[in-house]
Structure 1
Amino acid sequence: MLTLHSAPLVLPVGAEPVPDGAVVVDGDRIAAIGPYAQVAAAYESARTRRWPGVLTPGLRQWHGRWLLTRCYHPDPREADELGTEPITGAALDELAPDAARMAGSVRRGLQRMLAHGTTHVGGPFPDVVRQSVVRAGLREVPEPWRSAPPVWFGPDLDPFVEGYDLPGTAHGPLTVGGRADLAVFDVPDEAALTAKGAGTCVATVLGGRLVYRRR
């Protein structure tokens, strides 16, 4: 099925921004990118999803291995006791979660990455974690030298937190024929996106599938 994703601003990365733009997805591939009026006329049969803000490539979380193996992502049922933020360092050692709790943590961590527009995660991962990454549909990108963030980084799921711009954070440019890994953020432009961060994500599309939508 063809799906047309439109937004007030499409930021393909590596090409000029497209005001009132659209991206057409056919299966797991991008079929077209351009002004909404032009693309909609060419793909009249496509289902249309209208989004606020900016549409970009999916993001890359450089520190995926560390966030999934050296952090514990609390279950919402544990919020009263543990809070909602990832737990790491001495607090993680004190918590000492067993393998079953860590498996649940990995699944929640991946879902929370999707809620930040992340489609690619830096590994390499142990096999048990890789299986969860594969099941979630995210793409593993070997980045062993980035597996541990700077000491000041902290357990933050926002890929922009270290000061990267969009080209430095996106998995790659949106291109016709390329894999349909997209993210949408409720901000007016690229400057606002990097300033406010990926917590403004309203939708994530992974291989053409809508895998996250803010309620």
Structure 2
Amino acid sequence: MLTIHAADELRLRWDTEPVRDGAVAVRGDRVVGAGPLSELRERFPEARLRRWPGVLGPALVHEGPLPQAPSPRERLHAVLKSGSTAVLERYTDTAELRAAAVRNEIAVLPRVRESVIVDTGRADLAVFDTDGACVATVCAGRLVHRRR
């Protein structure tokens, strides 16, 4: 299914100027377009639209130890709720954590990498409100967290 995620602002990288009323089009687990919402609606008129308040950008890499929780799944869900869709390998030090990461399509990285939205790249997105709280997280094209 084709989905357009739109927000007040879009940042393709967190250190770039925002695109006002920006959006990212996602098909499956891949980005198929990014830019002004009006352009993406024209390119993909059949797409479902999800509109978010705040700033839409690339999902983050969780750089420290995973939050404590009763189960590996809950530890990784806490990471997703923070707007991160990747963790560092050194913090997934049990078979259970690694298996939970694979099941949830959370990227396990040997080192920190730049977070960026690119055409044909994996659709890992996060939306943050003006206070910096995560509103929504998309991991490999799936909406995995939405603040109510």
Residues 1:205 and 2:138 are matched in the alignment: yes
Distance 1:208 1:171 in 2: 19
Unaligned runs of 5+ in 2: none
Change (3 A) 1:170 1:114: farther
Residues 1:59 and 2:60 are matched in the alignment: yes
Distance 2:89 2:128 in 1: 25
Q: Which one of the candidate residues 126, 139, 160 is aligned to 2:107?
A: 139
Distance 1:170 1:58 in 2: 11
Q: Which has the higher strand share?
A: 2
Question: What is the DSSP-based 3-state SS (H/G/I as helix, E as strand, rest coil) of the residue aligned with 1:33?
Answer: strand
After alignment, is 35-44 or 46-55 more displaced?
A: 35-44
The C-alpha deviation readout for 1:55-102, integer Å capped at 9, x for no partner, is 010010111xx326xxx32xxxxxxxxxxxxxxxxxxxxxxxxxxx5x
Change (3 A) 1:114 1:52: same
1:114 is aligned to 80
Give the superposition deviation at 1:122. 0.8
Question: What is the DSSP-based 3-state SS (H/G/I as helix, E as strand, rest coil) of the residue aligned with 1:67?
Answer: coil
Segments of 4+ in structure 1 off by > 4 A?
Answer: none
2:34 is aligned to 33
Question: What is the DSSP-based 3-state SS (H/G/I as helix, E as strand, rest coil) of the residue aligned with 1:52?
Answer: strand
Give the superposition deviation at 1:170. 7.6
CA contact (8 A) 2:66 2:76 kept: no
Change (3 A) 1:8 1:170: farther
Distance 2:18 2:135 in 1: 19
Q: Which one of the candidate residues 92, 115, 124 is aligned to 1:172?
A: 115
Question: What is the DSSP-based 3-state SS (H/G/I as helix, E as strand, rest coil) of the residue aligned with 1:175?
Answer: coil
- Aligned pair count? 145
Q: Which has the higher helix share?
A: 1
Distance 2:75 2:97 in 1: 11
Change (3 A) 1:170 1:115: farther
TM-score (norm 2): 0.89
Give the partner amino acid of 1:2.
Answer: L
Give the superposition deviation at 1:186. 1.4
Which structure would you say has the larger Rg? Answer: 1
After alignment, is 49-58 or 171-180 more displaced?
A: 171-180
Distance 1:209 1:170 in 2: 21
CA contact (8 A) 1:120 1:140 kept: yes
CA contact (8 A) 2:11 2:57 kept: yes
TM-score (norm 1): 0.63
Unaligned runs of 5+ in 1: 74-100, 144-168, 188-195
Question: What is the DSSP-based 3-state SS (H/G/I as helix, E as strand, rest coil) of the residue aligned with 2:20?
Answer: strand
1:181 is aligned to 124
The C-alpha deviation readout for 1:153-211, integer Å capped at 9, x for no partner, is xxxxxxxxxxxxxxxx8852101111100001112xxxxxxxx44xx111100111101
2:25 is aligned to 24
Distance 2:59 2:114 in 1: 6
